[in-house]
Amino acid sequence: FALDLYPDDFVESAAVNGDGNSNVEDSVSYNNGLYFRDDSAATGSELWSIDENDNLRLELDLNEGEASSSVDYVTVFQNKICFRGDDGTVGSIWCYDPTDGSVVQVPGPNGRFLFVWNNKLFWNGEGDDGWEPWVWDGNNASQVANLNSDVGSDGSYPYGWTDYQGR
């Protein structure tokens, strides 16, 4: 294995999938390791990691077995690896603690486009008003605002979060 300037391309595909095909995406560096989503026939789309010694590991199989957990939008928040995923019962935002293996379901709706800012986790969540911005501080989650000016539509569908001058 070798890390390069493009972390989404670093994993030798045969190591995870075994058939020469790989779908490595959403990589994030944390605590001397790289965490990412990849697919295998045995587990589906799951959370994997590789450490500085090239040790490849299936970190979490949220929907155990061959069924996919549909891991996506991997990011680090409050020393946990957070992502969108499905445990076979519910699709949601989840946070995994690699130090003890615990997993928590983030309160609030399922969503996408996770972004950490000002020690809070933001995402585009699908709630009663359609797709709107949501925030979680590690304890409480809430809809940030209803930006939807078109009543009856699918929401404002925010994405592309960025920090501009601390706002």
Q: Is 26 left (phi over 0), alpha (psi -120 to 50) or beta?
A: left
Cα–Cα distance, 11 to 8 (Å, whole number):
8
- The fraction of the chain above a pLDDT of 90, given in percent, is 47
pTM of the full predicted structure? 0.81
pLDDT tens profile 102-128: 999 999 999 989 999 999 999 988 877
Average pLDDT, the chain: 81
Give the whole-angstrom CA distance, residue 167 versus residue 156: 19
- With bands split at pLDDT 50, 70 and 90, how would you rate the model's confidence at 7? very low
Predicted confidence (pLDDT) at residue 9 exceeds the cutoff of 50? no
The percent of residues above 70 in pLDDT, for the chain, comes to 75
Q: Rg of the chain's alpha carbons, rounded to an integer?
A: 17
Structure tokens at 114: 């996770």
Q: What is the pLDDT of residue 150?
A: 53
Which residue from 166, 159, 72 is spatially nearest to 119, judged by alpha carbons? 166
What is the C-alpha to C-alpha distance for residues 105 and 96, in angstroms, rounded to an integer?
9
| Mean pLDDT in residue range 13-37 | 73
For residues 50-71, give the mean pLDDT: 90
pLDDT recorded at residue 157: 65
The DSSP code for 116 is E
Q: How do beta strands 111-117 and 103-105 pair?
A: unpaired
Q: Token pair of 116, please? A: 């950490």
Instruction: Note the pLDDT of residue 42.
Output: 83
Q: How far apart are CA 125 and CA 133, in angstroms?
A: 6
